[in-house]
Amino acid sequence: MDLHLHTYYSDGSMSPEELVLRAKANGVKKIAITDHDGTRGIKEGLEAGARHGIEVLVGVELSAGTEEGQVVEGERAAYAHILGYDIDPENEPLQEAIRDILQKRHERNVKILAALGEIGYPLTMEECQMRPQQDYIGKPLIARALVKKGYISSPSEAFEPGKFLEHPDVKSNRRPKIDMREALSLIRGAGGWAVLAHPLKTKWLGKEEYDENGEDIRFKRLEILLDKLCEWGLEGMECHYSTHTPEEIEKLEAIARRRGLRITAGSDFHGPEFKSWLDIGVTVKPESQR
């Protein structure tokens, strides 16, 4: 299974049916469409899954954060991506929150494009749309627009340190995140269950660093964060992920089991043009990338 996929309804490059067909070709029998801050691709995905014999789970991915000191007194705010599964995509409180998120994202994008223009890479909002009437534009789509304009040769170049989308004047334009407790509450209110996505990419954990006993402090900090998130309604963790090594997966599974959390697997696939080694069904870091 692969429970973390994006379509062109958010920042992916493929339609829901194309994802279903690619999953089938890869031998993946169960997938979840988890577009960022939106559910517009769900209906198409379910219909395509029924036609092609692939089980499709209804999902969403919300970017969320805490207040400063909310996880540990005196410490910085935490930011994480929360996956919601088995939700009712028509749930009105969830849809109201999504509309607000999209508006704030649009306001952020206006500032990003202005900043890119200031450093010599002008783009219009229309040039960032990969299809007509697209209401979601995320950084991967802006990266693809930079490719189409000839500024860079691949989307990955847009995220090189200090350049393009990682330039300080561009990167400083951040979108306000939905409150972590609200994200978890919205998912539960829509009849779903919430999962912490790609836990080792959660910035609050810090970089890979070892204590005097040779223990990676990221896992200790993750346990602190998980205790708070479980208190607020978290039910699972994405232990199997495309950039997790087998050793990391083993540690994450043990942490999840101690808390009775569901263990999920996802690739976070956005399309074949983003990472040549990443595909639907890749839920452990390939040896070539370790």
pLDDT at 130: 82
pLDDT at 100: 94
Q: What is the full DSSP assignment across 208-253?
A: S-B-TTS-BHHHHHHHHHHHHHHHTT--EEEEEETT--HHHHHHHH
pLDDT tens digits for 46-55? 999 999 999 9
> Can you say whether the dihedral through the CA atoms of 12, 15, 18, 23 is positive or negative?
positive
Q: Are 154 and 168 in contact (CB under 8 A)?
A: no
The closest of 105, 150, 131 to 14, measured between CA atoms, is 131
Strand 55-65 vs strand 178-179: parallel, antiparallel, or unpaired?
parallel
The closest of 188, 196, 160, 159 to 63, measured between CA atoms, is 196
Phi, psi (deg, nearest 5) at residue 251? -65, -40
The reported pTM is: 0.92
Q: Which amino acid is at 223?
A: E
The closest of 126, 118, 111 to 174, measured between CA atoms, is 111
DSSP state of 199: G
What gap in Å lies between CA 81 and CA 195, rounded to an integer? 9
Radius of gyration for the chain, computed over Cα atoms and rounded to the nearest angstrom: 19
Distances 282 to 3, 28, 35, 210 between C-alpha atoms, Å: 11, 10, 18, 28
pLDDT at 138: 87
For the chain, which residues score pLDDT lower than 50? none
pLDDT at 287: 93
The closest of 229, 233, 238 to 265, measured between CA atoms, is 238
What gap in Å lies between CA 287 and CA 52, rounded to an integer? 31
The closest of 18, 24, 65 to 44, measured between CA atoms, is 18
